[in-house]
Amino acid sequence: MIKVNVKVKNKKVYEIIIKGHAGYDINGKDIVCAAVSTMAITTINNIIALEETIDYEEKTGLLKIRVLKDTEVNNKLLDNLVRMLEELSCQYPKNIEIRNEV
């Protein structure tokens, strides 16, 4: 199962930690893992291309996104990422779990 930990302060996302594997299918054919990876990497690339105000760490089975500077772009794109992950979680509740920390 993919576990997503969303850390929020003052109603703004300041860190997202994505860990694990969905287990929907074998590695390389898992559509849930592919969807999560695509959403997260696209969000990271967009933020970096626009303003470089985040830091991220990527390892096998782990992706951490940290906000370095609070901006409107970060807020909108990270909120969008969380909403997309929540929608995916509704479709695949056995494969992705989202936890919000305030």
Domain range annotation of the chain: 2-101
pLDDT tens digit string along 53-91? 999 999 999 999 999 999 999 999 999 999 999 999 999
Please tell us whether the domain made up of 2-101 is placed in CATH 3.40.50.1220: no
Buried b / exposed e over 44-56, threshold 16 CB at 10 Å, is: beebeeeeeebee
Q: State the Rg of the chain over Cα.
A: 13
Look at residue 67 in the predicted model and tell me its pLDDT: 97
Q: What are the pLDDT digits (tens) for 21-43?
A: 999 999 889 999 999 999 999 99
For the full predicted model, state whether its pTM sits above 0.85: yes
- Over the stretch 40-62, which tens digit does the pLDDT of each residue have? 999 999 999 999 999 999 999 99
